[in-house]
Amino acid sequence: AQRVTQPEKLLSVFKGAPVELKCNYSYSGSPELFWYVQYSRQRLQLLLRHISRESIKGFTADLNKGETSFHLKKPFAQEEDSAMYYCALRGRGSNYKLTFGKGTLLTVNP
Amino acid sequence: EAGVAQSPRYKIIEKRQSVAFWCNPISGHATLYWYQQILGQGPKLLIQFQNNGVVDDSQLPKDRFSAERLKGVDSTLKIQPAKLEDSAVYLCASSTGWTVLDNSPLHFGNGTRLTVT
């Protein structure tokens, strides 16, 4: 079975502070990991995926297979980063479905 | 490009009534997904279509939920009869493919918020 755990429901930081949203997963194999984001009154959308090794809006995430983690990081948070963030895992083969964590609500205070 | 369209945006029904949701995916997207998102939780996959065939419906409560995508384009999700615990946002998403070689992301609609009283 595949499972995604986001241990923090809420995370509050000040503008300019570093932010890290935690994500741990359970999957027997090599999964694909994603971060999706939902800004207020907008639809859920892809932020980044581990295979692309890209930085989007200053956010990065590194897949750590040893710790089965895929934490999302940004060195200097901005107010516009306030949103709901979901970590998601896609298995392979017959388990090729996208499983989401429960999400973390990030609030960046001025 | 036009996004994933869903209707209605909101629906309030009494328990034991039936309800249907409609989704029109992005043009050319072969794969269509229905997710259920209960308040405070992440989206949970109900059913996944590849064109007009079902790829995964393992988490669909088949005694009351049904979905179809007859022509491989738009889709409807039906609940009959509804229970109080069905209150949730129902999200439709689409992507271009589904194989392990396809890394296409999911594009989500705005969702339908269902309240069962």
For chain A, the residues whose C-beta falls within 8 A of a C-beta of chain B are: 4, 6, 9, 32, 34, 36, 43-46, 49, 51, 86, 88, 92-93, 96-103
pLDDT, one tens digit per residue, over B67-108 is 999 888 999 999 999 999 999 999 999 998 755 456 678 899
**3-state DSSP assignment of residue B86:** helix
Calculate how close chain B gets to A77, using CA atoms only, in Å: 23
CB contact under 8 A, A51 and B103: yes
Which chain A residue has its CA at the smallest distance from B111's CA?
A43
Calculate how close chain A gets to B58, using CA atoms only, in Å: 11
DSSP state of A83: E
- Percentage of residues in chain B with pLDDT exceeding 70? 94
Nearest to A9 by CA among A106, A87, A104, A101: A104
What is the signed CA dihedral for B38, B23, A99, B39, rounded to 10 degrees? Answer: -10
- Contact partners, residue B2, CB within 8 Å, separation at least 6: B26, B27
Task: Look at residue B2 in the predicted model and tell me its pLDDT.
Answer: 78
Chains A and B: how many Cβ contacts under 8 Å? 49
Burial of residue B82 (CB within 10 Å: 0-12, 13-18, 19+) is: buried
Which chain A residue has its CA at the smallest distance from B100's CA?
A92
The first and second tokens of residue B71, run together, are: 């022509």
What whole-number distance in Å separates Cα of residue B103 and Cα of residue A35? 14
DSSP state of A52: G
- Contact partners, residue B61, CB within 8 Å, separation at least 6: none
| B40 part of contact set with chain A, CB < 8 Å | yes
Phi, psi of A79 (to 5 degrees): -60, -35
Calculate how close chain A gets to B70, using CA atoms only, in Å: 21
Average per-residue pLDDT in chain A?
A: 92
DSSP state of A12: E
Task: Look at residue B100 in the predicted model and tell me its pLDDT.
Answer: 47
Burial of residue B89 (CB within 10 Å: 0-12, 13-18, 19+) is: middle
Residue numbers in A near B10 (CB within 8 A): none
| B44 part of contact set with chain A, CB < 8 Å | yes
Nearest to A50 by CA among A74, A71, A26: A71
Task: Look at residue B80 in the predicted model and tell me its pLDDT.
Answer: 97
Calculate how close chain A gets to B57, using CA atoms only, in Å: 10
pLDDT, one tens digit per residue, over A29-81 is 888 899 999 999 999 999 998 877 788 899 999 899 899 999 999 999 999 99
DSSP state of B30: -
The first and second tokens of residue A75, run together, are: 């060195």
What whole-number distance in Å separates Cα of residue B36 and Cα of residue B112? 10
Residue numbers in A near B43 (CB within 8 A): 44, 86, 100
- Buried (b) or exposed (e) across B45-64, using 16+ Cβ within 10 A? bbbbbbeeeebbbeebeeee
Res. B27: pLDDT tops 50: yes
To test the contact with chain A by mutation, choose from B26, B33, B103, B112 the residue with the greatest count of A C-beta atoms within 10 A, namely B103
